[in-house]
Amino acid sequence: ASQGDTGDAIIHADEHSENWLSYGRTYTEQRYSPLDEINRSNVGNLKLAWYFDLDTNRGQEGTPLVVDGILYATTNWSKMKALDAATGKLLWEYDPKVPGNIADKGCCDTVNRGPGYWNGKVFFGTFDGRLVALDAKTGKKVWEVNTIPAEASLGKQRSYTVDGAVRVAKGMVMIGNGGAEFGARGFVSAFDAETGKLKWRFYTVPNSKNEPDHAASDKALMTKAYRTWSPDGAWVRQGGGGTVWDSLVYDPVADLVYLAVGNGSPWNYKYRSDGMGSNLFLGSIVALKPETGEYVWHFQETPMDEWDYTSVQQIMTLDLPVNGEKRHVIVHAPKNGFFYVLDAKTGEFISGKNYVYMNWADGLDPLSGRPIYKPEALWPLTGKEWYGIPGDLGGHNFAAMAYSPKTGLVYIPAQQVPFVYKNQVGGFKPHPDSWNLGLDMNKVGLPDNAEARTAFMKDLKGMIVAWDPEKQQAAWTVDHKGPWNGGLVATGGDLLFQGLANGEFHAYDATNGADLFKFDAQSGIIAPPITYKANGKQYVAVEVGWGGIYPFFLGGIARTSGWTVNHSRVIAFSLDGKAVLPPQNDKGFLPVKPPANYDTKVTDNGYFLFQTYCAACHGDNAEGAGVLPDLRWSGAIRHQDAFYNVAGRGALTAYGMDRFDTSMNPKQIEDIRQFILKRANETYQREVDARKNSSEIPANPTIGLTPQ
């Protein structure tokens, strides 16, 4: 089959090094650019060339594309901006008008990871499940489809959101979705790039009745997957999970599409599948035929997932010597902490080694690649609390890794964030408008005693791991202040670029990690940089904007990665840039003395409800991290009616704050307010004192914490 002009250009990207045509630059997803005008000898003189302020001050995770001098960036709330790549001037913009009240239908901020390009059109997914095709020159809509079929969206617990980057190959646009924290059955759809007509759909977990869905996945699910699930676990009502919310790759060498499949729904393996079976295709890579979506092979990295160990992380292909023979392989660093090398054509396990510290397995079986589980890590089966490393955010999350064929190293934006897993008390009980994990929501936050909390904070780490895929060992590492830093790009100038959680943008020497350049971008960076040429000059660009699940959920503790307040922008650098950012705003969320009285009889219940319904956006234990309002200092907590207007009746739905009177009664919402008042009182003085430090982060965040 013909690849068409765009496919050829993506495959032969080095002949078009001025452009960035696909999410990972080429179908290999190596994020390597041969451009070398900016290199180790001159990067110290890199200057800001332009900046473009965004109208969405939430997490920005997008990889922009560059096609012939135009930069296409998707932003939070699924908006698209087309900018002049040399000047940052806005050429056109498109807002699909995602309704604000659905922000809480997704787990992890209303982010968008990027557009796709094919034959004069740009494509992107929207948080409410649509796929939009625009004319790349004018920004006019060509077609739009709803990617969520009616049979998948039935019922309150089916909560689908689309925030992943689309991939385009062979004239078709492919997209998955998220939702496994709520209740979802994952699938990927492929649409004709010209018309938007559905070509095929592949579900990643079985039909609960083992009936055909009349989808490309029917045979594989009915013959291979169904028997790896219990017939009547909670998955039957909760969808089973397996969402493909990030990586989804076409490989022109093997002529296969690879799906990177996510975690179980609910997480709790005992409730989900009665503690039985490996639960295919959770935590797997699944290979399909591009034309039909027909199953070819799968490799399951985390059988019986119960830790949110998604395998959705970026799938990269490269040619690697294995026992003296060059092989076309997939390299993969999923959440579970192991670095896998698989044969791309067959899925055969070649090797695997942990790229970060882990405490849940004693390595991989050398033949099958299956993890050798530590029995105490299987928390739904032991019934005991489990302090897991990696935790639910993984040793590596969506931040894209890069590979340099010059150094032979894979650069992983890695991290360590522990998580406490414990069974939901009294069996599985789903809540509408909330995460439904089968976990004790009183435990999902940080440990509540000072000692355990201090230990938890010591365990927080962020770093670049420069990994040698042939030797399966780290060549070197660069340590950051804390977790949740941006993705990476590697260049022919022997450079690595990365933005950090503390708002700094850096260039490192790709051979040894030496820090060669630093720029203060004023807001945490979680997106991956790109590099391109416009008018013959090399630029490096990145989306700036702190957010995503780490600051949302971990709240105050996430400030220890280096506290910034969200000011979202696209910024671009060149060697002769002359732009200057405006002076930085004050850090927001100054503590305001709260009313002194609250009802201690209801604050425990308020804590439980807060952790169940509010913490995933407003921060563990009601401490914010600089993106969404820190409720402790909000005017809305000062009066029962004011709080009910927002939390109950939805006064701020247009801004992303859903109404909760459908899931909680007024008394429950009032209990939450009483709990926030308690937290505001407990932490007020600590936060006032912290504003006297230069970091404005409390020296000891455990002060002012009363045991629950």
Ligand X SMILES: O=C(O)c1cc(C(=O)O)c2c(n1)C(=O)C(=O)c1cc(C(=O)O)[nH]c1-2
CB 326 within 8 A of CB 319: yes
**Inter-CA distances, 53 with 50, 218, 226, 235, 488, Å:** 10, 46, 49, 43, 22
Could you tell me which of 279, 171, 194 has the C-alpha nearest to residue 233?
279
Q: Of 26-34, 174-182, 472-480, 580-588, which segment contacts ligand X by CB under 6 A?
A: 174-182
Residues 398-427 contacting ligand X, CB under 6 A? 398
Residues 122-161 contacting ligand X, CB under 6 A? 161
Q: Of 35-43, 175-183, 341-349, 559-567, which segment contacts ligand X by CB under 6 A?
A: 175-183
CB 229 within 8 A of CB 269: no
Residues 179-198 contacting Ca ion, CB under 5 A? 180
CB 524 within 8 A of CB 546: yes
Residues 247-266 contacting Ca ion, CB under 5 A? 263
Q: Which of 76, 147, 310, 311 binds ligand X (CB under 6 A)?
A: 310
* Residue (306 or 308) nearer to Ca ion, CB: 308
Q: Would you count residue 109 as binding ligand X (CB under 6 A)?
A: yes
Residues 206-245 contacting ligand X, CB under 6 A? 243, 245
- Pick from Ca ion, ligand X, none: which does 106 bind, CB < 5 to 8 A by kind? ligand X
**Inter-CA distances, 113 with 69, 187, 431, 640, Å:** 21, 18, 28, 38
How many Cα atoms occupy the beta-carbon half-sphere of 370 within 13 Å? 8
Residues 44-63 contacting ligand X, CB under 6 A? 61
Q: Min. distance of Cβ 172 from Ca ion in angstroms?
A: 26
CA 439 to chain centre: 21
Q: Which of 131, 168, 180, 527 binds ligand X (CB under 6 A)?
A: 180
Q: Which residue do the tokens 């969506």 mark?
A: 398
Q: Is the peptide bond before 231 cis (omega within 30 degrees of 0)?
A: no
* Residue (491 or 502) nearer to ligand X, CB: 502
* Residue (106 or 656) nearer to Ca ion, CB: 106
d(CA 26, CA 9): 9
d(CA 228, CA 231): 9
Q: Would you count residue 263 as binding ligand X (CB under 6 A)?
A: yes
- Pick from ligand X, Ca ion, none: which does 393 bind, CB < 5 to 8 A by kind? ligand X
Q: Would you count residue 262 as binding ligand X (CB under 6 A)?
A: yes
d(CA 546, CA 566): 5
d(CA 533, CA 541): 11
Q: Of 43-51, 393-401, 426-434, 669-677, which segment contacts ligand X by CB under 6 A?
A: 393-401
Radius of gyration of the chain (CA): 24
d(CA 387, CA 550): 17
Q: Which of 171, 179, 240, 619 binds ligand X (CB under 6 A)?
A: 179
Q: Min. distance of Cβ 346 from Ca ion in angstroms?
A: 28
- Pick from ligand X, Ca ion, none: which does 646 bind, CB < 5 to 8 A by kind? none
Q: Min. distance of Cβ 106 from ligand X in angstroms?
A: 6
CB 587 within 8 A of CB 696: yes
Going through 551-654 in order, the beta strands assigned E by DSSP cover 569-574
| Residue 39: burial class (beta carbons within 10 Å; 0-12, 13-18, 19+) | middle
Q: Min. distance of Cβ 310 from Ca ion in angstroms?
A: 5
Any residues with CB less than 8 A from the CB of 536 and at least 6 apart, and which?
none
Binding mask 599-618 for ligand X (x = CB under 6 A): --------------------
Q: Would you count residue 658 as binding ligand X (CB under 6 A)?
A: no
* Residue (110 or 207) nearer to ligand X, CB: 110
Catalytic residues: 308
* Residue (161 or 404) nearer to ligand X, CB: 161
Q: Min. distance of Cβ 548 from ligand X in angstroms?
A: 3
Residue with nearest beta carbon to ligand X: 178
Q: Would you count residue 177 as binding Ca ion (CB under 5 A)?
A: no
Length, in residues, of the chain:
708
Q: Min. distance of Cβ 70 from ligand X in angstroms?
A: 26
Q: Binders of Ca ion: how many residues, by CB under 5 A?
A: 3
Any residues with CB less than 8 A from the CB of 549 and at least 6 apart, and which?
107, 108, 109, 393, 616
Q: Which of 249, 315, 393, 558 binds ligand X (CB under 6 A)?
A: 393
Give me the residues that bind ligand X (CB under 6 A), please.
61, 106-109, 111, 161, 163, 178-181, 243, 245, 262-263, 308, 310, 393, 397-398, 548-549
Applying CB under 5 A, the residues found at the interface with Ca ion are 180, 263, 308
